[in-house]
Amino acid sequence: MKSWFRSKIFLNGFWKFKIDPNLIGDKEEWSKGFESEDLVYVPSSWNEQNPEWDQFTGVAWYQKDFYVYENLSDKIAWIIFEGAGYKTKVWINGGLAGEHEGSFTSFKYRVNGLKAGAFNRVVVRIDNSPLISNLPPAASLNMTAFDFFHYGGIHRPVYLEFTDKCYVDDSTVYANGDGHLRVIINCICGSEKPVDLKITLYNKDLTSIIHEGVLSNVGTGKYVYERKIDGIKPWDPETPNLYNLVIELRSSDEIKDSVYERIGFRSIRVSDGKIYVNDKPVFLKGFGRHEDFPIFGKYLYGPVLIRDFYLMKKVGANSFRTSHYPYSNEHLDLADEFGFLVILESPLCYSNIERLLDRGGIIKLFGNDEYLNKAKKVIAEMIKEHKNRPSIIMYSVMNEPPSDIPEVADFIKKIFTYVKKIDSSRPVTFASYKSIKDVALKYVDVISLNFYRGWYSEWGDIDKGITIMLSELDEVHKKFSEKPILITEFGADAITGLHSDPPQMWSEDYQAEFIKKYMENLFKKEYIVGLHVWNFADFRTPQNPGRTILNRKGIFTRDRQPKMSAIVLSQLFNNLSRHDNGDKNVRDI
């Protein structure tokens, strides 16, 4: 939920900073305040802000003083982090506010003991120590089950927000393409007298009221407002029509609280081997992405996001996956705005976990109930934060698990069942790299497969790799003919400016040839419902012999300049179409 009404104190800017490699901060009570000459900027990861911090993993401390005006003395104060970690512990004026695990979901704590009309101090302890039990797992900075750099810090915005004692705690919005609106609103009003709950639907620019209604005499509890709204313009990639749903708690003429959601009316379903948006089949053209940028680390500032979305539109993309964690609110706000279809992925990433654990260790990890509950918790946080977005059309519960192992498949089944229980309105998938060996594909609504034949295997021979891939794809489709198949990853690394005739690995020419041949062959398969190139832009990774500081599979460089493949892909995406011609499906590329 967003709010124009609630007072806020933004804590973005320069903070005192101190790394704690010897873990003395707790013993010396740095939670009450500490001395340091070092500064760090928030929001951003700490690593690239100072070369001395770049390779540091472990505990680091943040401190900032802020002023609270006297007129806020009768309000409830909350401190909100939109993303920090991996583990975060927060103190206000020396008192513990709370602690959280996970870097990519927001969390908030009620703040007691705040001093109005005076300065206050927030101290934050961040611990990004790599652990196998983390989501995602790691044994060390450079030995991980994920191929992206293990940043640490307060990656996303942090602020204080103030509410009345009677406030809206949560809202869940179902807005179908036919105009059917259902809103579930949780109110907390304590011992306050009953209030009126007003629901107003505005157009995108807030210049006209589309609909309004009132539920009278509400208190603490859950309330449902349901109506059919006439004249609604549906949200879709071509016309991403947005509305503002404003929820207010009113007592007489006084507004107690006001929050809003930017919503779009659209329907999602999977049937007959296709994905439908507003009852029209869609073909997903796009990318796996990462939130990664020089110096800022895991935070993409507004100008970077704006450039990214215009570049994706220019290339002809209409979708992306939030690989391999839920993205920032600003990131997904733009997806709603630009009409992108988003697969929202959790931070359960297990790429090459076999390097960290043997089969017995993997079975033990995925069979651990505490680990399962931790996974459920972070997925629930992800869904709660982004459930009302029209752009989110599918959940990916994990990336590249060792799903050829039955015990892992059972874990995936439990996660799938859990997601369906808390949100049955969207299809569920996971990105598999086990192909025909995968024993968990039967549990998902949409099959998502990653292929790198011609790069990690059959290297140097794209044609041979494609032949094997197509054979495996046909076998998967034959086994699950009713399920749509999405190719969530395919690509090759390219070092900018390196060229080769004939195309050889690591050259821009090989990358362009790889993407072109993959797309031309995959698009001929009627059961393929989408192609996501890996990756949109180069991104930083752990150090290993297969990486040159970055994963260079981006069609753009890390600073968003095009490689040869960007031009090739633009021609392919913009000329790629499917349309019905009588009973025949015509496919152009």
- 102-132: pLDDT as tens digits: 999 999 999 999 999 999 999 999 999 999 9
Nearest to 320 by CA among 284, 282, 291, 287: 287
- Cβ neighbors of 410 (< 8 A, separation 6 or more) are 366
- The answer to whether 386 and 326 are in contact (CB under 8 A) is yes
- pLDDT-based confidence at 579, cuts 50/70/90? very low
For residue 583, what pLDDT is reported?
35
Beta bridge partners of 587: 578
Q: Could you tell me the fold of the domain covering 268-588? A: TIM Barrel (3.20.20)
> Which tokens go with 522?
């995959």
Nearest to 530 by CA among 244, 256, 237: 237
- The answer to whether 533 and 515 are in contact (CB under 8 A) is yes
**H/E stretch holding 330:** helix 329-338
% of the chain beyond a pLDDT of 90 = 96
Task: For the chain, give every domain's residue range.
Answer: 7-163, 177-263, 268-588
For residue 253, what pLDDT is reported?
83
**How much is the pTM?**
0.96
Handedness of CA 555, 450, 365, 480 (dihedral sign): positive
- pLDDT-based confidence at 252, cuts 50/70/90? confident
Q: Across residues 61-71, what is the average pLDDT?
A: 97
Judged by DSSP in three states, 212 sits in strand
- The letter for the amino acid at 233 is K
Residue owning tokens 């197509």: 470
Just list the catalytic residues: 400, 489
- pLDDT-based confidence at 193, cuts 50/70/90? confident
Nearest to 417 by CA among 386, 477, 375: 375
Q: Across residues 422-450, what is the average pLDDT?
A: 98
Distance CA 515, CA 567 (A): 11
**H/E stretch holding 304:** helix 302-315
Which residue spans within 313-453 are E strands per DSSP?
319-321, 341-345, 392-399, 428-432, 447-450
DSSP one-letter string for 479-546: HTTTS-EEEEE----B-TT---SS--TBSHHHHHHHHHHHHHHHTT-TTEEEEEEE-SB-EE----TT
- In this predicted structure, the answer to whether residue 578 has a pLDDT above a threshold of 90 is no
Distance CA 530, CA 446 (A): 11
Mean pLDDT of the residues in the chain: 96
What does the pLDDT look like over 369-414, one tens digit per residue? 999 999 999 999 999 999 999 999 999 999 999 999 999 999 999 9
Distance CA 150, CA 86 (A): 9
CATH 3.40.190.10 describes domain 7-163: no
- Cβ neighbors of 187 (< 8 A, separation 6 or more) are 166, 167, 168, 169, 197, 218, 219, 220, 221, 222, 223, 249
> Which tokens go with 460?
């140097």
- In this predicted structure, the answer to whether residue 296 has a pLDDT above a threshold of 80 is yes
For residue 584, what pLDDT is reported?
34
- pLDDT-based confidence at 75, cuts 50/70/90? very high
Burial class (CB in 10 A: 0-12, 13-18, 19+), 226: exposed
Angle in degrees, CA 352, 58, 23, rounded to 5: 145
Which residue spans within 189-283 are E strands per DSSP?
195-203, 209-218, 221-228, 243-251, 254-263, 268-271, 274-277, 280-281
Q: Could you tell me the fold of the domain covering 177-263? A: Immunoglobulin-like (2.60.40)
Handedness of CA 295, 300, 302, 307 (dihedral sign): positive
